[in-house]
Structure formats: C-alpha cells, structure tokens
C-alpha cells in the first residue's frame, strides 16, 4: 500500500494489499526488512528466540517446541508459514491463533513505518508477527524460516538457539542445486557462541563448516544427542549434556511417522540448550509431545476408508510419506489424490510415491504457480508409471472421485502441496452429508 492510501479495513483486505507491495512473490535479502525493522524499533526483540529452519520437519518441530514450553507454563509465541486454511494460523500465542483485529493492528504498524519500501508478502508478514508478539509480551518465540535461512526475513533476529530439522533438495532456483549449497544457506541462521541443533544425522559438510566458521556450538543428531526406541516408547540421551542428560520412557509423538522422532529429538535438544531460565520437567515434555498436533502431517481422518492428508511436496518428504504408508498396510488399494506446484520437483516426488500407490487421481491447482493435471500426468509418465490416471480440475473433484471408487478396505492419500491438502480440509464440512463414513 502506498503511503497515504486508504487503510484496509479487514484482514482479507490487508492480505490483498500485501500481495501488491513488491513485484515478486519471492525476493531473498535482508536489507528491505531490516530498514523497516529499525524504524519500528524491532532491530532486537525483547525475548529469546528459537529459529527453526530445514527442508522438511520445520512445522512439526515448531509445534513440539511450542507445546512443550507451553506445558511448562511459559507464554510462547510462534510464527510459521505457509498456512493451510486461514492466515491467522501463522501467528500464535499460547498455542492459540491470532485474531483478525490484532493482526490488522500489526499490519498497520508495518505499513506506517515502511515509507516507500516495497516489502514482499512474507517480509511484511514477518515484521507484523514480530510486532504482534512484542505487543503480547511473550516469554519466548519460536520462528520458522520461510525459505532457506541466510537471506530469509526471519534471520533478521539472532537466534538464541537455531534448529535445522533436515536438509533435502528443494527450492533449487533460490538455494542451489545440491545439499552442500542448500546446507550452507540453511546454516545462515547459526550464531557465534550459541547452540545450533541439527536434527539431520547426516548433514552436508557445508553446514558443519559454516558452524565452525561462525563459532556456533553445533549439536548433531546421532553424534551429540540420540534416540533409543523401546517397546513402550523412546528415550532421548545427550552424552554431551551435564551428567549425560537422559529423558526416558517418552511417549511416541502425536504426529505420526517415524521421522517425527527425529523432529522430537531436535526439539528436546533445543529445549535443553535454553538452559535453566526455561526449565522443563519430564511431565511437560510428555504432555507436549502428546498435544503437539499439526494438520496435514500424516493427518488421518476418522472413519472408513482410511484417509491420510500430507503436505509432502518434495522428494525427501515424499520418501518419508511412502515409508510410513508402507509400514501401515491396508487390505485393499491405495488411491492417491495428487496436486502440486509446477516449480516443485514433480517427477522426483512421484518416483518416491509410485510403489505405494495403486490408483492415481491427478488434480490441477488454480494458483499461478499451480501445475495442471496434464503436467502431473507427464511427470507421472517420466516417473515410470504407465497405469492410467484420472485427471480432475481441482483437488475436491479428485477427492470426491476417490471416495466414489474406494471401498472400506482401501486407503486414500492426499498429498503434494499445502494448496491440495488445504482445499480438502476446507471442503470436508460441505462433503459430510454425502459421505458414508460421517
């Protein structure tokens, strides 16, 4: 919005305006947002910050940190992206979504101070999140990196503890073509003399080299902290911590998938790294792991047929999804409703999924970055799948077709994008009257 222009009078109007302030949806760099942050008095935040980056597992890690610290009695703020249903999901305090009024007030503060600076949608939202969390007086904030790390707007603020959940191949146009270049960009959130937790047990050399170069205290899964799976749950052990710190007999996280244990272990290492100021006992950890739930992460809907919603949209996430599906067999077929953005590695994702899917229902996504069903079909052929696939104009049409085809012993998996999963979640109340399992 240009200075002096009419102030939007609703959250929807603000979001529409935010999309017009910069000619590009993505424009990495810190200068624009830093200038505005200084004008807003936000160059330093009045509370400790945990910054969470990574290719996959960022949102789950944030949710676990948020839940554990909340259970311990701290007023926790969090900032995540993207959202599934409503923008309010992105900024939470005490595990509760922010309200329209307080978001609009924060947006107005950003706009008032930005002058003629053209901020991207993400930069504007990040500054507004910081303003809102400051106004709420949170004890600690957990901030999720949007893209990469080094040049992401969240990296304006020094992390008291930085967490990298995983390093995979994604956003190659922005971060580089391989794990080494991507790892270097993600390691940009590390700070000198402060803990840097890596939940990925096999980080690229570039990440370790950057940690050493800046003097961060790097803690790597499998080397400095580890998971031990038991018959009744799991144990977390940090030999480096005081007296060989251990948390035993922990419950399996509420979010499903074996990979969630890695996210949980990284979250526990981050909590431990905060030190005595944010003491957390065993009961807090147990309750936090059991209460941390995030829609769209191997989310299983009630009733039959089994229906799984997962936002997996890159090869690493698809591999994890396929492994979890393979470990949870069903008597019948697996029908996949897939919709993806065209700038994602469609073929690579479908290669990971092809061995666990029997029937394909491909959806177009009605967004400028969305792939058409025909483009997905070409990617499916490139992935080596020769079976016929259904083509549909949108995710709801594809999901409805899957419901008509599926029996009670089959399974429907919706994956490929936040847009795809979000569309189904929004449609569920409208479809309820026509579905036999509600």
- The count of other CB atoms within 10 Å of the CB of residue 25 is 11
Q: What is the pLDDT of residue 170?
A: 82
pLDDT higher than threshold 60 for residue 3: no
Report the run of H or E that residue 125 belongs to, with start and end: helix 121-136
Give residue 6's pLDDT band: very low, low, confident or very high (50, 70, 90): low
pLDDT tens track for 131-150: 999 999 999 999 999 999 99
pLDDT higher than threshold 90 for residue 438: no
The domain segmentation of the chain, as residue ranges, is 11-291, 299-434
CATH architecture of 11-291: 3-Layer(aba) Sandwich (3.40)
pLDDT tens track for 16-63: 999 888 767 777 889 999 999 999 999 999 999 999 999 999 999 999
- Contact indicator for 218, 191 with CB cutoff of 8 Å: no
Q: Is 25 helix (H, G, I), strand (E, B) or coil?
A: coil
CATH architecture of 299-434: Alpha-Beta Complex (3.90)
Average confidence (pLDDT) over 327-344: 96
pLDDT higher than threshold 90 for residue 430: no
- Contact indicator for 83, 300 with CB cutoff of 8 Å: no
- Contact indicator for 133, 141 with CB cutoff of 8 Å: yes
- The count of other CB atoms within 10 Å of the CB of residue 320 is 23
Q: What is the pLDDT of residue 411?
A: 98
pLDDT higher than threshold 70 for residue 436: no
Q: Rg of the chain over CA atoms, in angstroms?
A: 22
Report the run of H or E that residue 286 belongs to, with start and end: helix 282-291
pLDDT higher than threshold 50 for residue 273: yes
Average confidence (pLDDT) over 256-284: 95
Average confidence (pLDDT) over 184-190: 97
Distances in whole angstroms, Cα of residue 114 to Cα of each of 4, 111, 181:
12, 5, 32
User: pTM of the prediction?
Assistant: 0.93
pLDDT tens track for 82-124: 999 999 999 999 999 999 999 999 999 999 999 999 999 999 9
Distances in whole angstroms, Cα of residue 50 to Cα of each of 27, 45, 97, 157, 267:
24, 12, 19, 10, 10
């Amino acid at each position: 919005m240009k200075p002096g222009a009419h102030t939007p009078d609703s959250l929807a109007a603000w979001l529409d305006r935010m999309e017009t302030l910069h000619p590009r949806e993505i424009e990495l760099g810190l200068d624009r947002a830093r200038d505005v942050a200084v004008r807003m008095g936000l160059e330093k935040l009045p509370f400790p910050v945990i910054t969470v980056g990574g290719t996959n597992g960022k949102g789950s890690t944030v949710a676990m940190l948020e839940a554990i610290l909340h259970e311990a009695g701290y007023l926790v703020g969090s900032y995540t992206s993207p959202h599934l249903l409503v923008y309010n999901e992105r900024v939470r305090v005490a595990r509760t979504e922010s309200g329209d009024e307080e978001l609009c007030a924060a947006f107005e503060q950003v706009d008032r101070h930005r002058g003629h600076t053209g901020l991207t949608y993400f930069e504007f939202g990040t500054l507004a999140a910081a303003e809102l969390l400051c106004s709420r007086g949170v004890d600690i904030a957990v901030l999720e990196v949007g893209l990469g790390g080094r040049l992401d707007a969240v990296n304006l603020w020094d992390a008291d503890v930085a967490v990298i959940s995983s390093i995979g191949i994604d956003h190659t146009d922005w971060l580089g073509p391989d794990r080494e270049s991507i790892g270097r960009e993600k390691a940009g959130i590390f700070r000198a003399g402060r803990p840097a937790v890596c939940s990925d047990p096999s980080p690229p050399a570039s990440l370790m080299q950057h940690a050493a170069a800046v003097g961060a205290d790097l803690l790597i899964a499998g080397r400095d902290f580890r998971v031990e799976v038991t018959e009744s749950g799991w144990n977390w052990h940090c030999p480096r911590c005081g007296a060989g710190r251990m948390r035993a007999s922990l419950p399996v996280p509420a979010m499903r998938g074996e990979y969630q244990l890695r996210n949980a272990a990284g979250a526990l290492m981050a909590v431990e790294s905060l030190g005595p100021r944010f003491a957390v006992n065993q009961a807090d950890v147990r309750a936090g792991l059991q209460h941390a739930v995030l829609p769209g992460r191997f989310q299983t809907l009630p009733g039959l047929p089994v229906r799984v919603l997962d936002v997996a949209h890159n090869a690493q996430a698809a591999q994890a999804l396929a492994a979890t599906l393979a470990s949870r067999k069903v008597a019948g077929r697996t029908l996949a409703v897939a919709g993806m953005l065209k700038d994602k590695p469609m073929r690579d994702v479908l290669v990971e999924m092809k061995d666990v899917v029997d029937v394909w229902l491909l959806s177009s996504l009605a967004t400028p970055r969305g792939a058409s069903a025909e483009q997905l079909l070409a990617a499916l052929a490139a992935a080596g799948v020769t079976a016929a696939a259904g083509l549909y104009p949108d995710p709801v049409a594809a999901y409805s077709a899957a419901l008509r085809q599926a029996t009670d012993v089959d399974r429907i998996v919706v994956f490929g994008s936040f847009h795809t999963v979000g569309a189904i979640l929004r449609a569920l109340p409208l479809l309820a009257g026509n579905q036999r399992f509600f």
